[in-house]
Structure 1
Amino acid sequence: MKSLSIRGTLASLSLSMLLSSLGTSIANVGLPTLAEAFSASFQAVQWVVLAYLLSITALIVSVGRLGDLVGRRRLLLVGIAVFTVASILCALAPNLWLLIAARALQGIGAATMMALTMALVSGAVPKEKMGSAMGVLGTMSAMGTSLGPTLGGVLIAQMGWQGIFLLNVPLGVLAMGLAWCCLPVDRRETTASRPGFDRLGTLVLVLTLLAYALAMTLGRGSFGPLNTALLLVAVIGLILFVFVEQTAASPLVNLAMLRNPLLSSGFAMSTLVTTVVMATLVVGPFYLSGALGLSAARVGLVMSAGPLVAALAGMPCGRLVDRWGAQRSSAVGLMAMLTGASILAAVPMSVGVPGYLIALVVLTAGYALFQAANNTAVMADIAPQQRGVVSGLLGLSRNLGLITGASVMGAVFAFGTGSHDILLAQPEAIAQGMRLTFAVTAGLILVALVMGAISKIVSRRLIAPY
């Protein structure tokens, strides 16, 4: 009976994870259609994706903490409902700016689902099976990413752009039904025994994260005065947030728990590693089309290998984590990523698509193993009352890596090509840009490996409160 209950819990949470990841990738493929439908510029319709990403980044920690306070199952049901209703509003939007507003609302629902799925899994699954459970969630996240472009293309052809949002409605209803039936009911607590919600800390963190995300995404690769000002606001906001949390009676983030080396290094390594993964998505299309001369259709086919490998490797990697242990599996995953990045930094153009594919497969499989191991290591020994906020911080670390990777790795690639316009760069210049980019990513992975080794040594000597 207990095994059946765990499977039901995993099924409901896996669908929530699938929906939130599908929400990003399926919208990307619809941008050209939306630009035509609303007679808008490509820069304007990019906000359909950006609004969703900004909502998730700004709110994922706060909703995780709120779940710890009011009940994770209860808040997850609210999040799924918000996501589903927002999907309907997206499909009914009469103009682009109302669509963007509905996408921001949809992002709030997605942030709730992302923050609470891992928190609920860590409370429902035995510790010895945690790696397998994290592998399942990783698989569903990768499936959402890989299925999005294909599903989106089919739905746009059959139903118009509205179809990419209406798909979420039956899936959202199913996710809500599964969560209602399968997730354990939240334990009731009296108002007197429940800690207060840190409103000031939440406001400061949301504004800080919004400033950083906008600094990294505005300007399409150019870092101008506005970006610099936003980055300065983010730095000031971070300092202010630390001060607020140190003086708050019931802080949003208990800063003392970051003294735990496994937690702090886990968050930092997650950011570094997702920065590397984003580099493959930013640089890959330019290299395949500009240096190797592939058509758009073939570029899409080659690029789909990454998410496909992640989807196929997720569950086997989770079992390896249960067998080898989280720290050993994390190191093996990082070494595989280092191998893949090193191949991409050295591969000659004459090797062509096979050389790129081999490196991408090795790097992505290593990422799947690292992600399952790191999620397990971070979530395994967390106190029940902190699972939501820690899960939110883990999700935030990944999002920050993706946002930073898109900006910084894009800038490194452009610098490496030595061209003001990448679209006009010669094939050899593009190849040189790719080599520099992945030499930098190899360095980032080495930093992550060192962090993991140091945290392992320090954690044997220190027991930090969290």
Structure 2
Amino acid sequence: MKETDISQSTPKTGDLLVVFTAGIGLFLSTLDSGMINIALPTLSQTFHSSLTTMAWTVTLYSLTLTGTIIIFGRLSDRFGRLRIYSLGLILFSVASVCCGFSRTAGQLIAFRALQGIGAAMLQATAIAIITTTIPEKRRSTALASLAVIMGIGPVLGPSIGGVIISLGGWPWMFWINLPIAAAGLVGCRSLSVVITEKHSSIELHIKGNLLLSFSILCLLQGFSTWSSTGFFSPWTYGSFGAFIVLFLGFVVYELHVKFPIIDLRLFRKGAFTAPILAIFIFGGATSIGFIVPPYFLERVACLEPWKAGLVNLFGPLGLVLCSSVSARLIPHWGNTRMMLKGMFAMFISYIVLGQMQANWSPWVIAAFMFLYGLGGGLFLTPNMKSIMESVGQEIQGTIGAVQRMVQNLGIAIYTAIAIVLIPGHSSTGTADLLAGLQRSWDFAALSILAGILVFLGNRRNSKSS
């Protein structure tokens, strides 16, 4: 097939359609995660299963999403991003229908795994659809709009999930995905008429994809069992051991193939490594912001759940508000300075929250979570832009999948660490619970600081060279 530069074939008036279409996939996956979390008690009662069992509806979804996302990013470069994205919408819809008709916990868990594969197809291609369709001079605005959509999902998920469960029953929590996915398919159809996708002839190397996917699955399984059965459980260190063996096998294999999935030489460049490390930290630190406040607000401040949920909205709200203006600041500050300013705001927020006391007002938590969200809004758009610009147009699907995979890994790993820290300090009263919450904030703050130092070191090396 003749290769065409599609970034020059989309008029400015079509940017909204591109962002809308690409954003639907990210919105669906984040909305669905928020709804399922709030539905776990209801699902546990419905299927007469423990919360531990029903939690696999979340865990397995995350495992299949993160473990297969690189494969679909690679396939999208070879066969077309819109094609893989459309198939993802269809698979996500079919899995949603099946989830709603599940009659046992096992069926629901299995269909959630299938839904995770559909979500991987969507997340692997969404950013690449924008970066390969919209010209560079308008790309920052489009990516900022995508960041807003990504921030809306976590805001609406718990609220919509609660309303649906109360009014229509838990199956509608999955069936509501159908009209949204249908709108996405209409968008894909409309885009396919006006653009010609650029396909890559690069080889797939299934062996490398499988090694990477299974290594990631073992890593996530290790953190999952660590938080539930302890580090010295055979399942925990066995999973970590399998991860090490498989990942080393992946690295060796990638160094000896002509067309690797991820060109490992990219990691020699600070301009690529720093943003990749930063998105991992951002994903993890943001998950801390969703996990820790409810513990404090409900168990220490004794707020009703709906009030705690309201306070928890301030972080995503800040991200949405600041993302909407971040594109205008990139030409003045540049990608790196924007990311540094955002990370500094996030660091200040978490280092203060690490000093939280039992008598703190919930509005203090809300204010600093809002500051964190503002920092996240400054950070996310230039981060996506930096990572996607580090490679050519022919592998935008792959590198977009890497960006999402690394962010999801950060979310999963930091969540497991927070679960380990918090229960270990909550068994003997408020003081010990607060100690666990403070350590969670401090851990996230120190990791953000490490990311800042990496950026500063990279800038210093760039100037000296």
Shorter chain as denominator, the TM-score bin is: over 0.9
Q: Which residue of 2 aligns with 1:432?
A: 435
Q: When the two structures are superposed, what TM-score results if normalisation uses the length of structure 1?
A: 0.92
Q: How many residues align?
A: 453
Alignment of 1:289-328 (within 5 A): 289-328=298-337
Deviation per residue, 1:50-94 (Å, 9 max, x gap): 121111110111111111111111111111111111111111222
Letter in 2 for 1:304: L
Instruction: Give % identity.
Output: 23
Which one-letter code corresponds to 2:43 in the other structure? L
Instruction: Tell me which residue corresponds to 2:202.
Output: 195
Residue 7 (structure 2) aligns with: none
| Contact residue 311 and residue 363 of structure 2 kept, 8 A | no
CA distance in 2 between counterparts of 1:24 and 1:298 reads 20
Which deviates more, 42-51 or 243-252? 243-252
Q: CA RMSD in A?
A: 2.0
Q: Distance in 2 between matches of 1:375 and 1:105?
A: 27
Q: What's 2:176 paired with?
A: 167
Q: Which amino acid aligns with 1:115?
A: A
Deviations 1:319-347 (A, max 9, x none): 32344221111010011011101110224
Identify the range of structure 1 (193-202 vs 104-113) with the bigger mean alpha-carbon deviation. Answer: 193-202
Check the 8 A contact 1:116/1:388 in 2, yes or no.
yes
Distance 1:394 1:458 in 2: 24
Question: Which residue of 243, 252, 263 corresponds with 1:254?
Answer: 263
Match for residue 24 of structure 1 among 5, 19, 33? 33
Equivalent position SS for 2:140: helix
1:382 aligned counterpart, secondary structure:
coil
Correspondence 1:374 to 2:383: yes
Give me the whole-angstrom Cα distance separating, in 1, the residues matched to 2:395 and 2:265.
12
Aligned residues of 2:280 and 2:409 also touching (Cα < 8 A): yes
Give the 5 Å matches for 1:54-65: 54-65=63-74
Report the equivalent of 2:454. Answer: 451
Given candidates 364, 378, 390, the residue that maps to 2:373 is 364
Q: What amino acid sits opposite 2:177 in the alignment?
A: N
Distance in 1 separating the partners of 2:134 and 2:347 = 31
1:181 alignment partner in structure 2? 190
Q: What is the aligned partner in structure 2 of residue 268 from structure 1?
A: 277
The TM-score normalised by the length of structure 2 is: 0.92
**Cα drift, residue 459 of structure 1:** 4.8
Deviation at 1:128, TM superposition (A): 3.2
- Asked if the contact 2:85/2:122 (under 8 Å) is kept, the reply is yes
Counterpart CA distance in 1 for 2:234 and 2:329 is 47
SS, match of residue 391 in structure 2: coil
Correspondence for 1:409: 418
1:411-442 per-position Cα deviation (integer Å, ceiling 9, x unaligned): 23445x3xxxx2x4422322232223222222
CA positional deviation for 1:380? 2.6
1:384 to 387, 393, 396: 393
Matched letter for residue 395 of structure 1: R
Local SS of the residue matching 1:346? coil
Gaps of 5+ in 2: 1-9
Mapped to 2, the partners of 1:46 and 1:410 lie a distance apart of: 13
Question: Are 2:10 and 1:10 aligned?
Answer: no
Structure 1 residue 381 displacement after superposition: 4.4
CA contact (8 A) 2:68 2:120 kept: yes
Q: Where does residue 55 of structure 2 map in the other structure?
A: 46
Q: Does residue 240 in structure 1 map to residue 270 in structure 2?
A: no
The question of whether the paired residues in 2 share the 8 Å contact of 1:292 and 1:427 is answered with no
Structure 1: which 5+ runs fail to align?
Answer: none
